[in-house]
Structure 1
Amino acid sequence: MKIVFIGAGSMAEAMIKGIKNAKAFRQDDLWVTNKNDKERLLLLTETYEINSSYDTRNLLKDADVIILAVKPKDASDALQTIQPYMNGQLLISVLAGLSIGFIERIIGQAPIARAMPNTSAMIGQSATGLAFNDHIFDLQRSLATSIFSAIGSVTHVEESHLDLVTGLSGSGPAYIYYIVEAMEKAAAELGEDAMPFIIQTLKGAAHMLETSDRTPEELRKAITSEGGTTEAGIAQLEYHHVKDAFAECIKEATDHSERLRRQFEQAHNI
């Protein structure tokens, strides 16, 4: 098995670390390259003990999977660089706003998947949406699923739903970290080190959501006693329209993913 990462940024690193920690594939199976940042490439190869090369022919020789993880502005050049060496390998893009149709216009008919993981892949806790084109074989579909299953949960979706996946779970960890920032700030003003409490509270709530047969609303109401502290806190969230703000946050991130795709395609006359 040979899995090649085109791009060595934060998402590529998160996936490499998650895959290696899961021991689903051998570290010799993993290869990585980038455009020209040799220092960054050396850091990844030494940290995770994987392979790297700037020789595209050698890099893609006998590759089973190519994972496109470059910056969107570099996607077109990267695809044109690898196109001459494409020979039925599975190509997986993890770029927001880059459609399967755009990829096909550059590399032609090929088995292509689009995935939207998040950086929690680094600890095997990503939530990944995965979509395929019509040229993929069952074995390649299973292989793509196994790669992302090694770094978290996988849900097969229609490509048209990936903008929402991007806005919801692709960006989702940042929303949670934002909440934690607010909780930590409030506690700091009270003179307490809140992080141990916050982390365990989040872990406990997540586990309840995962294991309980009750809805989030039912779980919330179960700890919101009339006249109690939770009710007082929730009242402030309602007063400041926090629930509406989060709904708008996800909607805007989803819409922006779609805008990025349209802008990218317009810029390349598609």
Structure 2
Amino acid sequence: MPEATFGVIGGGMMGEALIARLLDQGIFAPGAVLVSDPQAARREVLHQTYGVQTTDNNQAVIDAAETVLLAIKPQVLAAVAGTLKFPNHETPPLLLSILAGTTLARLQAAFPSWAVVRAMPNTPATVGAGVTALAAGASVSEEQRSQARTIFASVGTVVEVPESQMDAVTALSGSGPGYLALVVEALADGGVAVGLPRAVALELAIATVRGTGELLHQGDLHPAVLKDRVTSPGGTTIAGIAALEAGGMRSALMAAVRSAYLRSQELGQS
């Protein structure tokens, strides 16, 4: 098997999203990528679709790759790591973990002598529109930090945070797509309530949320500024905003983030 420079342990949805974007942007060539997955059908799909090397042997990935993306379920970390033997390296290899709630300390214990970066991408990364927060371990070099940013920038925006803020990141951007999906559904229901066909209402709701996010991003606008721009005296928007404030939408969203944050903390301690 040819030597790989980028290895992936776990060929699921997020692993595939990163592989697809990295290859599409020319960051890695297909022959330089080695993916391990226990399911033969999944290995075949990845090989046929992207031309990458595949295996059911996690050790082969560890032995070959300079950078490894760990994309398994958090609950199987100990079982997977326990079967691995770690060769001596002059320079610590780079491990990128997307395991939710799994601390740098636990990852470092499972992958001794490796440089570890903990990452929290969200589901829009699967369409190249995600946001990923990175927390780097103490042994990560500046070159490896830059490489981690490049890899995750292939699927969207990248921010770096202290590990102490990763539960907050999980609560906001990690869980955020779920909150916004609920908002889109509610907007579409409102459209149906005032007479729009369901398909039209849903299309309008999705396009409005997507366009507003892009306007805030490209215009570098504070949300309050955009809100004021579209809210005329005695108009329709202020009437709708008043109803939202009366219904406690703002405080409900804040409470959702806080509840998710507390739950993330609990899961990290289990």
Structure 2 spans left out of the alignment, 5+ residues: none
Deviation, 1:237, is 1.2
Of 40, 45, 48, which aligns to 1:46?
48
CA RMSD of aligned residues (A): 2.0
Deviation, 1:159, is 0.8
Which residue number corresponds to residue 158 of structure 2?
Answer: 154
Deviation, 1:131, is 1.1
Of 166, 173, 191, which aligns to 2:196?
191
Greater RCO structure (CA 8 Å; 6+ sep): 1
Which residue number corresponds to residue 207 of structure 2?
Answer: 200
- 1:8 alignment partner AA: G
Which residue number corresponds to residue 134 of structure 1?
Answer: 138
The question of 1:107 aligning with 2:114 is answered no
Contact 1:90-1:110 at 8 Å conserved across structures: yes
Contact 1:94-1:115 at 8 Å conserved across structures: yes
Cα distance in 1, alignment partners of residues 52 and 243 from structure 2: 50
Deviation, 1:83, is 4.5
Which residue number corresponds to residue 59 of structure 1?
Answer: 61
Deviation, 1:205, is 1.1
- 2:187 alignment partner AA: M
Contact 1:8-1:33 at 8 Å conserved across structures: yes
- 2:218 alignment partner AA: T
Of 60, 77, 99, which aligns to 1:95?
99
Runs (4+) off by over 4 Å: none
- 1:122 alignment partner AA: T
Cα distance in 2, alignment partners of residues 22 and 176 from structure 1: 29
Q: TM-score, normalised by structure 2?
A: 0.88
Of 25, 28, 32, which aligns to 2:28?
25
Cα distance in 1, alignment partners of residues 111 and 148 from structure 2: 19
Q: How many residues align?
A: 262
Cα distance in 2, alignment partners of residues 102 and 11 from structure 1: 21
Which residue number corresponds to residue 125 of structure 2?
Answer: 121
- 1:3 alignment partner AA: F
Contact 2:15-2:71 at 8 Å conserved across structures: yes
* Cα deviation 1:111-139 (Å, max 9, x = unaligned): 10001111222222221111111112222
Deviation, 1:46, is 2.4
Q: TM-score, normalised by structure 1?
A: 0.88
Which residue number corresponds to residue 266 of structure 2?
Answer: 259
* Cα deviation 1:24-77 (Å, max 9, x = unaligned): 22222322222x322233223323332210123333333011111111111111
Which residue number corresponds to residue 222 of structure 2?
Answer: 215
Deviation, 1:181, is 1.6
Cα distance in 2, alignment partners of residues 86 and 179 from structure 1: 51
Deviation, 1:98, is 0.2
Deviation, 1:86, is 7.1
Structure 1 spans left out of the alignment, 5+ residues: 264-270
Contact 2:9-2:58 at 8 Å conserved across structures: no
- 1:182 alignment partner AA: A
The question of 1:234 aligning with 2:241 is answered yes
The percent identity for this pair of structures is: 32
Cα distance in 2, alignment partners of residues 58 and 108 from structure 1: 17
Cα distance in 1, alignment partners of residues 196 and 116 from structure 2: 53
Larger deviation, residues 80-89 vs 4-13: 80-89
- 1:69 alignment partner AA: A
Which residue number corresponds to residue 6 of structure 2?
Answer: 3
Larger deviation, residues 118-127 vs 63-72: 118-127
Cα distance in 1, alignment partners of residues 58 and 175 from structure 2: 31
Which residue number corresponds to residue 268 of structure 1?
Answer: none
Contact 2:192-2:201 at 8 Å conserved across structures: yes
Cα distance in 1, alignment partners of residues 178 and 51 from structure 2: 29
Cα distance in 2, alignment partners of residues 178 and 117 from structure 1: 20
Larger deviation, residues 121-130 vs 64-73: 121-130
Contact 1:18-1:121 at 8 Å conserved across structures: no
Of 16, 37, 40, which aligns to 2:39?
37
| Partner SS state of residue 84, structure 1 | coil
Cα distance in 2, alignment partners of residues 114 and 33 from structure 1: 20
